[in-house]
Each structure stands twice: as C-alpha cells, then as structure tokens.
C-alpha cells in the first residue's frame, strides 16, 4: 500500500459486545450514550491516562510484525482494567476479553505499527528508536481503542450489558505497515468468527479537529503491486548494435503501461498504474544485461483490478519481446497480498451518521471523497459488514500547513483522543442494541441531509 493517506492501516484491534441481560435503554437514553461517553473520555483522569499511553508508544515505535513491546504495553493496560488477554495472536496480535464473551459480537479495529523514518519533531516524548517513528498516528489509534475499552468497562453496568472486548494489533507493510495484509492473518486466526459488524478509523491532519468524514460505498481503492525483470544482452554503449538494450525495452514498457488507464479503462471508473521503481545499469558507457522495474496498480472494483493485473503482464512481456528482450513478471505474494477495495456498508453508514451526529452535532459530520490508496480493512469487509471513517486531527492553532501523514514532522493531535475513543465505544454499543431491538434510534430525520 501505498499512498500518503492510506499507506498505513495494518495493525488491528477489536472490541466485541454480546447480548444485554436486562431491559434495553430507552431511545432517549441510547441517543445520550455518545455524548455521555465523550464527557467521560474528556475527564482529566481519562484524558491524561490516554496521553501517557500515547506518548509511551510514540517513544518506542516498532515496525511491522515487530510490535512486541507495544503489544506487551497494551496487554498490561488491559489487565490493569481487569480485562483478560490472549497474547500473542497471529504474530504480534493481542486479544482482550471483557464480560461473558458470548456471541453475537461487534468489532472495532485499530493499528499499531510505525514507519521506517527518522523523527524530526523535538519533544519530550520523541522516538528513542533511530530510524523509526509513528509518522501515521497509529500510536493515537491504539490509544483510542484502549480508551474505548476503558469507557465500556466503566459503563457496562449502567447499560446492563455484558461486554466482550477484543483487541488485536498487527501489521501490513508496503514498506512497514503498508502491504503485509495483517487483516487477512487476523481472519485466518478466527478472530472475527461470529462478528456481525466491524468499525475502523484513521486520523487525517487535514480534517478539522472535532469533525469526522465518511461516505457509503467505496472509500479506498483496491491495490496490487508488480515487479518485472527485463533481460537483454549487455555491451558497450558505443556499439549498441552488438547488445540487446533492456533499458530501451523497459522505457517502452513504462510508456505503454500508462496507456492502460488512458486508453483502455472507462474514464468514470477511476484507476491508477504507477511505475515507481527502475533499477538498471551502473556505468555511463555500459549497456546492462537486465533492468528491474516495479510499481502499483489500483481500482475501485475487483473486476477492474484483475483486468489491470492481466494487462500489466501482457504489456510487459509483449513490449519486451518487441525489443528482443525477455521479461518475467511477479505480483503480490502471500505475505503481501493484493488488497480488495474498501467499501463501506450502506446500512452501517446510516448507523455511523446517527451516532456521530448525536455525539458531535450535524455540522461536524462531513462527506469524504474516496482516495486511491489501499486499506487492508477491506479484507474484513469481504467477510462481514464493515465501516471505515476518518477522524479529524487538524491543529487549528498551527500557523503553517500541518505536517501530513508519513512526514518526519508529523505529530498526532492528542486533543482528538477523547473523540476517537468515545466514537469507537458508542458505535459498538449502539449497533449491538439497535440490531437486537430492530429499532434504530437517534436523528433519522437528518440522515438525508448529511
């Protein structure tokens, strides 16, 4: 994965809730849950606790599938709250359990891996690990999920619910967290068995603090990667007729690949093919024996994604042959699988709007334009209804343009912690109760205006 805003989500955390044991809250009481949870998350004791956890994680960043200390910290915090854990799960994963653990379940998810970058922000909690930093806000994501677990643990007696919380953090990676398909490993471990719905979020420093952005349907593209080796015959640059030039062949390949989108795809069906790797030759006067290229392809439908994959191989092999070269093409593997599109369930979109408006107000729930980056949350959505949304973390006090995700100057806005934690908890509780009563509550009359 891949691209600024979406090249990040791979660690996972889940929160599962089971059936209530007594009478349900009234519709009015249900509508008050999000604001009550937010008020609890904003209390000095809760907020300071989340800040401490977030900064400790930030100081000790770990890359994909190496988050051993991070998962140990999460385990300790859950146990401190009286939440039992299963650890590890699927590598560096962790499952925490609150309540009876009987289905049906609702899930919430977060990610915890860091990036292979040197942090440039000077602070008292700056990364202690050279060449590693939380440049995508996953330290905040983990903290908000722990905050949600604390909210639910503190309030389940008031809601007359048994609650089962499951937190699982893993990785995917295109460099670190991008591309490893942690969600797929999570599914294979059985962690979403009996789960009815799953929710996830990512922070965005361009969306104002206190706002959330969302949409039904596709929100992130499916993505794949390819690599090719184009082999010719090396020789002296002064006598090219005695060689077979793989650099020329690779250049023609790249130009032809760009035409897959411009000439073969429907202009209304957004697609991307990018060659981002070109390696070949080491001297100005030597034609090399071979050249390696690589890149990514993306689309909002599986059909389009598979078509691009087929044509990429045909173009590379065919154009290489025109230049008398041979080519071998490889795509994603088991460790770094191709990602399906991230498509939000339409009914869960309505649910999210109800909960978010009850918590934040109508004006704070905005539309979001889909992006071509990939997100492995999509693997869950292939199996169960899922919903992925954006949490605003923009620092309005900053005088200059905020540092973006994957920047060495990025720093998660801690003022967003209460909102994310309370939204996680509210989405889970409200979904579970409303799905069992068959009576959605809240601001239905405002849905179509969002």
| 3 state SS of 338 | coil
Give the closest residue to 444 by CA, choosing from 347, 364, 369. 347
- How far is C-alpha 190 from the geometric centre of its chain's CA atoms? 20
Q: Is 242 exposed, middle or buried (0-12, 13-18, 19+ CB in 10 A)?
A: exposed
What's the rounded Cα separation, in Å, for the pair 413 and 205?
Answer: 8
Q: Which residues, 6+ apart, have CB-to-CB distance to 278 below 8 Å? A: 250, 254, 291, 292, 293
What's the rounded Cα separation, in Å, for the pair 235 and 254?
Answer: 23
331 DSSP β-pair partners: 226
* 54 within 8 A of 378, measured Cβ to Cβ: no
Provide the token pair at 57.
Answer: 């994680």
What's the rounded Cα separation, in Å, for the pair 338 and 172?
Answer: 11
Give the closest residue to 103 by CA, choosing from 218, 193, 41. 193
Tell me: is residue 178 an annotated ligand-binding position. Answer: yes
Q: How many CA atoms lie within 13 A of 163 on its CB side?
A: 32
Q: Is 125 exposed, middle or buried (0-12, 13-18, 19+ CB in 10 A)?
A: middle
Tell me: is residue 136 an annotated ligand-binding position. Answer: yes
The single residue listed with the structure tokens 């994909």 is 64
What's the rounded Cα separation, in Å, for the pair 96 and 174?
Answer: 28
Angle at 13 between CA 340 and CA 15, to 5 degrees: 110
What's the rounded Cα separation, in Å, for the pair 314 and 282?
Answer: 28
Give the closest residue to 341 by CA, choosing from 188, 213, 224, 173. 224
Q: What burial letters (b/e) apply to 202-238, b meaning 16+ CB within 10 Å?
A: bbbbebebbbbbbbbebbbbbbbbbebbbbbebbeee
* 424 within 8 A of 144, measured Cβ to Cβ: yes
In the chain, what is the greatest distance between 2 CA atoms, to the nearest angstrom?
A: 87
What's the rounded Cα separation, in Å, for the pair 333 and 122?
Answer: 39
Tell me: is residue 157 an annotated ligand-binding position. Answer: no
Residues at the annotated binding site for Mn(2+)?
136, 138, 178, 202, 406
Residues at the annotated binding site?
136, 138, 178, 202, 406
């Amino acid at each position: 994965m891949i691209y600024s805003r979406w090249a990040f989500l791979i660690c996972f955390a889940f929160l599962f809730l089971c059936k209530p044991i007594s009478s349900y809250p009234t519709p009015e009481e249900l509508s008050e849950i999000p604001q009550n949870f937010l008020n609890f998350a904003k209390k000095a004791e809760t907020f300071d606790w989340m800040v401490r956890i977030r900064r400790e994680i930030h100081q000790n960043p770990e890359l994909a599938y190496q988050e051993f200390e991070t998962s140990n910290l999460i385990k300790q915090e859950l146990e401190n709250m009286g939440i039992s854990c299963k650890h590890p799960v699927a590598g560096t994963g962790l499952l925490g359990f609150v309540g009876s653990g009987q289905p049906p379940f609702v899930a919430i998810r977060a990610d915890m891996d860091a990036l292979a970058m040197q942090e440039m922000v000077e602070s008292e909690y700056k990364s202690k690990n050279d060449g590693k930093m939380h440049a995508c806000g996953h330290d905040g994501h983990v903290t908000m999920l722990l905050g949600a677990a604390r909210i639910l643990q503190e309030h389940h007696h008031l809601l007359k619910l048994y609650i089962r919380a499951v937190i699982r953090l893993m990785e995917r990676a295109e460099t670190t967290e991008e591309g490893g398909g942690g969600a797929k490993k999570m599914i294979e471990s059985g962690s979403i068995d009996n789960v009815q719905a799953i929710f996830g979020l990512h922070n965005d420093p361009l969306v104002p603090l206190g706002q959330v952005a969302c949409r039904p349907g596709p929100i992130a593209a499916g993505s794949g990667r390819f690599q090719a080796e184009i082999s010719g015959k090396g020789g002296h640059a002064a006598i090219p007729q005695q060689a077979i030039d793989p650099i020329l062949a690779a250049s023609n390949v790249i130009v032809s690949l760009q035409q897959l989108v411009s000439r073969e795809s429907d202009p209304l069906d957004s697609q991307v093919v990018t060659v981002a790797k070109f390696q070949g030759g080491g001297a100005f006067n030597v034609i090399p024996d071979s050249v390696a290229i690589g890149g990514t392809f993306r689309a909002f439908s599986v059909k389009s994604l598979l078509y691009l994959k087929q044509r990429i191989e045909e173009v590379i092999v065919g154009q290489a042959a025109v230049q008398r070269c041979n080519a071998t093409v490889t795509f994603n593997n088991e460790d770094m699988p191709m990602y399906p599109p991230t498509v939000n369930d339409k009914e869960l979109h309505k649910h999210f709007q109800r909960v978010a408006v009850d918590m934040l107000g109508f004006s704070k729930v905005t539309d979001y334009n889909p992006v071509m980056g990939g997100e492995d949350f999509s693997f869950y959505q292939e199996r169960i209804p899922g919903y992925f949304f954006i949490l605003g973390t923009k620092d309005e006090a900053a005088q200059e343009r905020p540092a973006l995700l994957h920047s060495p100057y990025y720093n998660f806005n801690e003022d967003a912690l209460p909102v994310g934690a309370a939204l996680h908890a509210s989405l889970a509780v409200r979904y579970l109760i409303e799905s069992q009563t068959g009576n959605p509550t809240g601001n239905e009359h405002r849905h179509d205006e969002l």
